[in-house]
Each structure stands twice: as C-alpha cells, then as structure tokens.
C-alpha cells in the first residue's frame, strides 16, 4: 500500500485532469465515459461521426446510471451529477480545453492516426492523448504526432465497470509527466494499473489470444463448437470462451488474433469460421432465448464449415 506500481514515474510529476474527451461513442467508449464521469467527477465529452451515434453513447451512460440508481449502488445526487457531466458533440472542437483525451474508435491504425491528427489540431500542447487499442502499436500511432511524448496506451477490459485491470503502455517517446498522470488517473478510476511494453496485444490479450486461438482452431478442424464451449464451462472460467468472445466483440477478437499472428506467427491462430460469423454480421456463436438460456441458431451453424 502506498508503493508506486513498478515502472511508474514519481507521482509529483502528474498533472491534474479537469476535463476529459472520449473519441467514439460505441459501447467501449460509452463505458469509458461513464467510468471517467463517475470516478473522476469531471466533465466528459464524447464525439463521434454523427449525432445519432453521439446520442446513443450519451443515452447509454444515462441508462447505466439509472440502473445503478435503481439497484441503490449510487446516490440520487451522484446519479444526477454523473449524468450532467457527460455530454456529446459531433465536433472535436468541443475538446479545446480538455486535458485528457482517450480514443476508443475502430481498431485500425490509419483511423486512430487520423483521429489523433484531428484532436491535436484543437487541443493544447500538454493535453494527454490516450489510446484504448487492444493490439495496435502505440509507437506507430505516435509517429505523425506533433507531440508524440503525450501519447500513452490506456487499455481497459470488458466490462469496464467490473474488470479491475488497466494496461498502461509506454511508447519510446512517452514522457514521464504523461505516464505519471496516467497512473494517477488509473488510481482515481479505481483500477489496478500495470505498465506493459508496447508489444503486439500487450500482455492480457496475448494470453486470451492463445485460448481463443486454440478453441477456434479446434472448431475449424471440425470439433463441435457448441459441445466444446459447453464442456469448458465448468473449468473455472468466469465465462466460456465463446461467451467471452461475444462480449469482447468478434471483430475486435479477430483483430487481436491478426496482430498476434503478424507478430508471432503460428503461435497465434486466425480462425476462418470466426471470419465467416463476422462477415455475416453475427455478434457471436450463441444467442439467447427469452428465458435467458443460450442456443446456437441453425442459420449460424449453416455459415460454418
């Protein structure tokens, strides 16, 4: 207790975070907006490419706060305050006076670089830029920045409200004040931060990548996926592999596997069947009956080979 996490610079270097920007208003971004508003108690602005997406993101925060209120997990005052702190805009100009921006947009290097170029055009020279990337190189993301020293990896896990871990990624140019602020912010968010190297998929997703790779490989080789996934349930895993893959998102999971395969070759498997599910717009292998029980629809099985 009181000890600095391994590799964290002196906390005296940390700068205050008084206003947060979240780029993206999808599920991950919305979970982040909720967490930052609730724990840091500072204004949080979400942006996305159109008003409908922005409204959906802000709406998610309101709905989740209402659920916490209904369960008695948050006071009425805190609920009102949290809701009032979160707003949305289609323009990144809304980030002008923010000091910490985190992106959770599509997992593609060119998209993230474009986002950060637009953000850099409106924020101050000391505003911290954080990426929630699962598997892309933070070093590559910093390449074209005017201030590469301000970029840090800040990688959360699904579901953000429940998972205590946060991977903080230092790129070669990330400066100590930025890293110190990242660690202090993690503490204020009540997450356990670990410093990881900027290597493909960092640490946690390397481990998950082996599990997802092996089960999808068995599946592609002809093992009955439904039986296999069910059989793994009692092994002490909090969720079966395919339930977890659906929570993470099939496309995100596939991007992680591709990054790991590119970096480490055949140690990491990229599944053709998983790609077929993604191409067909499936959210996962399982679907839920009205009573909450899980089943695999015939049409999903028909997609697989």
Residue positions annotated with a catalytic role: 155
In angstroms, the CA 20 to CA 17 distance is 7
Which of these segments, 51-59, 95-103, 113-121, 160-168, binds ligand 3HC (CB under 6 A)? Answer: 160-168
Q: ∠ at Cα 85 (83, 88), nearest 5°?
A: 90
Under the criterion CB under 6 A, does residue 244 sit at the interface with ligand 3HC? yes
Q: How far is the CB of 91 from ligand 3HC (least distance, A)?
A: 28
Residue 13 or 27: which CB sits closer to ligand 3HC?
27
Residue 102 is classified by DSSP as: E
In angstroms, the CA 22 to CA 75 distance is 25
- 152 CA to centre of own chain: 14
Residue 40 or 248: which CB sits closer to ligand 3HC?
248
Q: How far is the CB of 202 from ligand 3HC (least distance, A)?
A: 9
Of the candidates 93, 140, 163, 280, which one interacts with ligand 3HC according to CB under 6 A? Answer: 163
**Phi (first) and psi of residue 240, to 5 degrees:** -70, 155
Query: Quick one: which of 226, 181, 224, 237 has its CA closest to 12?
Result: 181
In angstroms, the CA 196 to CA 169 distance is 5
Under the criterion CB under 6 A, does residue 208 sit at the interface with ligand 3HC? yes
Site of tokens 């896990």:
157
Contact predicate 139/198, CB 8 Å: yes
Under the criterion CB under 6 A, does residue 252 sit at the interface with ligand 3HC? yes
Under the criterion CB under 6 A, does residue 239 sit at the interface with ligand 3HC? yes
Of the candidates 205, 216, 254, 257, which one interacts with ligand 3HC according to CB under 6 A? Answer: 205
- Tell me which residues touch ligand 3HC (CB under 6 A): 71, 134, 157-159, 161-163, 205, 208, 238-239, 244, 248, 252, 256
């Amino acid at each position: 207790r009181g000890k600095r996490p391994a590799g964290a610079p002196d906390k005296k270097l940390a700068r205050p975070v008084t206003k947060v920007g979240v780029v993206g208003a999808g599920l991950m971004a919305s979970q982040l907006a909720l967490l930052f508003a609730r724990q840091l108690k500072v204004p949080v602005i979400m942006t996305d490419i159109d008003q409908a997406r922005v409204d959906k993101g802000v709406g998610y925060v309101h709905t989740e706060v209402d659920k916490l209120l209904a369960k008695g997990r948050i006071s009425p005052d805190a609920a009102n305050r949290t809701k009032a702190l979160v707003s949305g805009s289609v323009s990144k100009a809304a980030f002008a006076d923010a000091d910490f921006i985190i992106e959770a947009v599509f997992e593609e290097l060119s998209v993230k670089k474009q986002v950060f170029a637009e953000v850099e055009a409106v924020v101050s020279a000391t505003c911290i830029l954080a990426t929630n990337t699962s598997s892309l190189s933070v070093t590559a993301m910093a390449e074209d920045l005017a201030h590469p020293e301000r970029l840090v990896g800040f990688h959360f896990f699904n579901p953000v409200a429940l998972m205590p871990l946060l991977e903080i990624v230092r790129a070669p140019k990330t400066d100590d004040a930025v890293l110190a602020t990242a660690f202090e912010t993690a503490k204020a968010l009540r997450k356990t931060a670990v410093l990881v190297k900027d290597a493909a998929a960092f640490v946690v997703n390397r481990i998950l990548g082996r599990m997802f790779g092996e089960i999808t490989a068995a599946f592609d080789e002809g093992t009955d996926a439904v039986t296999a996934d069910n059989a793994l349930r009692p092994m002490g895993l909090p969720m079966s592999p395919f339930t977890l893959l659906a929570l993470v998102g099939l496309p995100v999971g596939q991007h992680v596997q591709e990054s790991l395969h590119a970096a480490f070759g055949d140690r990491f498997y990229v599944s053709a069947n998983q790609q077929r599910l993604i191409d067909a717009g499936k959210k996962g292998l399982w679907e839920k009956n009205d009573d909450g029980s899980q089943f695999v629809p015939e049409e999903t099985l028909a997609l697989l080979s």
